[in-house]
Amino acid sequence: MTIWRHLKIRTAIRYADVCVSAPYAGSVLKISGDIREAIVAHARRDHPDEACGIVAGAEGSDEPTRWVPMLNAARSPTFYEFDSSELLALYRELDERDEVPVVIYHSHTSTEAYPSRTDVGLAMEPQAHYVLVSTRGCGSGDGPAEFRSFRIVDGSVTEEDVELVGGATG
C-alpha cells in the first residue's frame, strides 16, 4: 500500500459518515515482551520529554513485529510530534516492506497512561493500537511504568487488554 493510499484511506475514514466503533469491542493487543520492554525503555530514556514511535507489522496481520523508535520533534514533556521528514521516510519504508503501523505509542511524563483530548484529536490510524506509557512514577529510573493500549476510532476511546507473547515478560 503506498503512502498516498494510506493518506486517502485515512482521509476517507475520518470524514466518512460511518459508524466504526463496534469492531474493537473486546480487542486485545498481542505484543512481545521484548517490544514492550523496548517501548518502556525508550520512554524512560526520553524522560522528562515524551517519547514516541511505532511498531510495524505485515499489512493485514495486526501483529506488531518491528519496533521503530522515533524522534519527538516537539521535545516537550507535555506533547509529542513525529518529525515530518522522519515520518515520510518511515511511510516509504513501510510501503517497500508491505507493512503498516500496527502500534503507535508515546509516553506521558506526569499523567496517567490515558489518551488526552489532543491525543484523541491526532489519532489518524483507525486500525492501529495506541499504546501509552506513563513514566510519572519512575521518571528515567527503575520502577514501575504504566503500559496501556487503546483503540481510538472516530473520537471514541476504547481500552483493550495487553497480552504478552514470547520474549521478556517484565
The values of phi and psi at residue 77, to 5°, are: -80, -5
Complete domains list, the chain, with CATH: 3-14+25-164 (3.40.140.10)
Handedness of CA 77, 82, 86, 91 (dihedral sign): positive
Answer whether residue 22 shows pLDDT above 80.
no
SS3 31: strand
pLDDT 10s digits, 24-37:
556 899 999 999 99
Average pLDDT, the chain: 87
- The grid coordinates of residue 118 equal 489532543
Kindly compute the dihedral angle of the four CA atoms of residues 65, 24, 11, 86, in this order, to the nearest 10 degrees: -20
Using 50, 70 and 90 to split pLDDT, how confident is the model at 12? very low
pLDDT 10s digits, 118-133:
999 999 999 999 999 9
Q: Which residue has the cell 483493550?
A: 160
Task: Tell whether pTM > 0.75.
Answer: yes
Give me the pLDDT at residue 167, please.
Answer: 62
Alpha helical stretches, state H, the chain: 3-15, 33-46, 84-96, 117-122
SS3 24: helix
What is the rounded average pLDDT of the residues 36-43? 98
User: What residues form DSSP beta bridges with 103?
Assistant: 55, 129
Measured in residues, the chain has a length of 170
- Degrees to nearest 5, angle at CA 119 with 92 and 148: 90
State the number of CA atoms in the 13 A half-sphere of 41 facing the CB.
11
Among 44, 13, 63, 81, which residue's Cα sits nearest to residue 166?
63
pLDDT 10s digits, 57-98:
999 999 999 999 999 999 999 999 999 999 999 999 999 999
